[in-house]
Amino acid sequence: MLDVRKIRLILELRESGISNSNVLSALELIPREKFIPENYRNQAYENIALPIGENQTISQPYVVAKMTELLEVENNHKVLEIGTGSGYQCAVLSKLARRIYTIERIKNLHDKSCKIFEQLNLTNIVSKYEDGNNGWVEQIPFDRIIFTAATENITEKIFSHIKENGIIVCPIIRDNRQVIIKYKRKNNKLISQEFDDVLFVPNLKGIN
Ligand code: SAH
């Protein structure tokens, strides 16, 4: 039953403009239901965000697919994710990159996601319970960085984590909106490009 719904979802994503077949395959490989509380599991393959507890949500599959596509991940890449949440986005990235470093500021979500990564044998994910705005200094530089909580801007701290020609994808808060921005580091500057309007939970300081 889930399989039929999954195939339908993948087709829907393709129709919505996701054309990178590696990205679509990664979404097909990861069982989204594992990242969702039991009472919502029957909706795992609907194209909607769902609650994961702690007032947080697992992102809509279209948004995961879109941000993953914009990140242009290659199989030798080292990726940083700020905002592990359920771990779903991270799991999708783990099928495309060499290694993912992911940071979550809510202990309960960090612990839950670590267990699922272990169950699914996703051994190229390294998780940390911390404020992601502090980055992961020991692992600099990164080929790619993804934010999965809405933030005001890219700080100097995070900028120092990305390689020349590296890409950062982030929901940025603009007045009353949030927009997905893709940044490319070129000659020590970030060149930005705007994409879809989205609705993410905010990036918050400190740990919880
Ligand atoms: N990528 C997630 C969805 C994001 S929910 C998924 O696929 O399910 C956003 C997550 O970012 C939340 O769990 C929230 O606690 C976390 N977050 C917000 N601010 C953060 C910060 N400064 N550092 C680390 N995690 C943060």
CB distance 144 to 73 below 8 Å: yes
CB 102 within 8 A of CB 110: no
| pLDDT tens, residue by residue, 69-110 | 999 999 999 999 999 999 999 999 999 999 999 999 999 999
Tell me the pLDDT of the chain averaged across its residues: 97
Q: Which DSSP category does 205 fall into?
A: S
Mean of pLDDT values over 144-165: 97
Ligand 1 nearest atom to the CA of residue 204, by list position: 19
Backbone angles phi, psi at 66, to 5 degrees: -65, -45
Give the pLDDT confidence score for residue 3 in this predicted structure. Answer: 85
Question: CA angle at residue 120 from 119 to 123, to 5 degrees?
Answer: 100
Residue ranges around ligand 1 (CB below 6 Å): 56-59, 82-83, 85-86, 88-89, 103-106, 109, 131-133, 148-149, 201, 203-204
Only one residue has tokens 């719904």, namely 5
pLDDT more than 90, % of the chain: 98
Q: At what angle do helices 21-29 and 61-71 cross, to 10 degrees?
A: 130
**Nearest alpha-carbon partner for 135 in 193, 80, 190, 67:** 80
Residue 26 has pLDDT above 70, yes or no: yes
Question: Which residue type, as a one-letter code, is found at position 140?
Answer: I
Domain boundaries of the chain, sorted by first residue: 2-198
The yes-or-no answer on residue 59 being catalytic is: yes
Task: Specify the residue for token string 């300081």.
Answer: 205
| Dihedral sign for Cα atoms in the order 39, 44, 47, 49 | positive
pTM > 0.75: yes or no: yes
pLDDT at 1: 60
CA distance 44 to 207: 28
Q: What is the pLDDT of residue 111?
A: 98
Task: Select from 198, 208, 206 the least CA-distant residue to 146.
Answer: 198
2-198 to CATH, choices 3.50.50.60, 3.40.50.150, 3.40.50.970, 3.40.50.920:
3.40.50.150
Which ranges in the chain belong to alpha helices (H)? 2-15, 21-29, 61-71, 88-94, 107-119, 156-159
**CA 127 to CA 61: how far, in whole Å?**
22
32 phi and psi, to 5 degrees?
A: -60, -30
Q: What is the mean pLDDT of residues 177-182?
A: 98
Residue 151 is classified by DSSP as: B
Confidence of residue 180 (pLDDT cuts 50, 70, 90): very high
Ligand 1 atom at minimal distance to the Cα of residue 59: 3
Catalytic residue among 21, 59, 127, 160: 59
Mean of pLDDT values over 133-155: 98
